[in-house]
Amino acid sequence: MMRQCILVTAGLFLFVCLGSAQKPSFEVVSVRINKSGSNNSSMGPRGSRLVATNVTLRTLLMYAYRPPKGSLLDAQIVGGPDWTRTSHFDIEAKTEGDARVPPGEQTRAMVQSLLEDRFQLKVHRETRELPVYNLVLTKKGPKLSEDQTPPDQRQALISVVSQGARLSPLPRGALRMITGPTTTALIGTAIPISTVIELLQGQSDRIIVDKSEFHKLIDVHIEFSQNLAAAPPGPSVPGPIESGIHEISNQFEPSLFTAVQEAGLKLEPGKAPLEALVIDSVQLPSEN
């Protein structure tokens, strides 16, 4: 099998190769099964240690093998036994000589080495037809912003705040989520559709593909429930990623994907060729 290599620049040159023995690695690794039954999980550096609590192998794969400046969704991981989704682990990995955990791509390469060593993981990448959501316009279409002048990109940010917080005026080009106990509001002025997609992608289990061919600036003001699954309406594409998607039973508390239709946008299930990470083999690790 041909190795795939990514050249990463971070003050020095480093080759990160799938299946390569030259990847950097942690000096000491502890892996234990987490049987708490909790839904909470976390992962991050703590000085010279990388600590992951209550994480699944799929979560580790999405972190370790995501492309630079991109994301790897669960739907893009193909193969592997059921336990890769259901078994949870506590992992503590220490760097050599108490050096601080390096940032970015170096840490991902080290986690890849950890998975190859402790989980006997072997993977490869290939292009496959995978489920996606195509973003299109509704018949009504989005509300155009009165001012189509390009906004200041330095202010074109996505922010999340709580209801009751003191809010500064929202700049043109910015998108704000205001969260409350049961509902959330999404507000933006003079934003491109790409900004809406960026926010939706964080709530979606599939890659969102812009099929709108719409390039004008729009205004958005919608409200949706936090208590319902963020699933778009309409027929879905059968497959393993459908687990966890529920029917919307209360029309007065729409999900985010339903409420976004009020902004003149719609997500339709489809398929597209995407890069997939294929699990060739993997084993449950022994605890230590």
Q: What was the pLDDT predicted at 22?
A: 72
Q: What was the pLDDT predicted at 248?
A: 28
- Cα–Cα distances in Å, from 147 out to 31, 197, 222, 263? 55, 21, 20, 17
**Between residues 14 and 264, the one the model is more confident about:** 264
Q: What was the pLDDT predicted at 117?
A: 96
Range name among 73-82, 186-195, 198-207, 215-224 with the lowest pLDDT average:
198-207
DSSP-based three-state secondary structure for 215: coil
Judge contact between 198 and 158, C-beta under 8 A. yes
Q: What was the pLDDT predicted at 94?
A: 96
Q: pLDDT tens across 61-100, in order?
A: 999 999 887 788 888 999 999 999 999 999 999 999 889 9
At how many degrees (to 10) do helices 57-64 and 104-118 cross?
A: 140
Tokens of 154: 């330095």
> Which helix (H) or strand (E) is 94 found in, with range?
strand 89-94
Mean pLDDT of 172-200: 89
Maximum mean pLDDT: which of 19-23, 192-196, 229-233: 192-196
- Cα–Cα distances in Å, from 130 out to 50, 74, 75, 134, 281? 32, 11, 7, 12, 21
Which residues, including other chains, have CB under 8 Å from residue 211's CB and lie 6 or more apart?
134, 135, 136
CA 236 – CA 232 distance, rounded (Å): 9
Q: What was the pLDDT predicted at 153?
A: 85
Judge contact between 122 and 281, C-beta under 8 A. yes
Is it the case that residue 198 has pLDDT exceeding 90?
Answer: no
Confidence of residue 234 (pLDDT cuts 50, 70, 90): very low
Which among 121, 137, 131 has a CA at the least distance from the CA of 235? 131
Confidence of residue 204 (pLDDT cuts 50, 70, 90): confident
Q: What was the pLDDT predicted at 203?
A: 74
Confidence of residue 226 (pLDDT cuts 50, 70, 90): low
Judge contact between 142 and 148, C-beta under 8 A. no
DSSP assignment of 17-83 = ETT-TTS---SEEEEEE--S--S--EEEEETTEEEEEEE-HHHHHHHHTPPTTS---GGGEE---TH
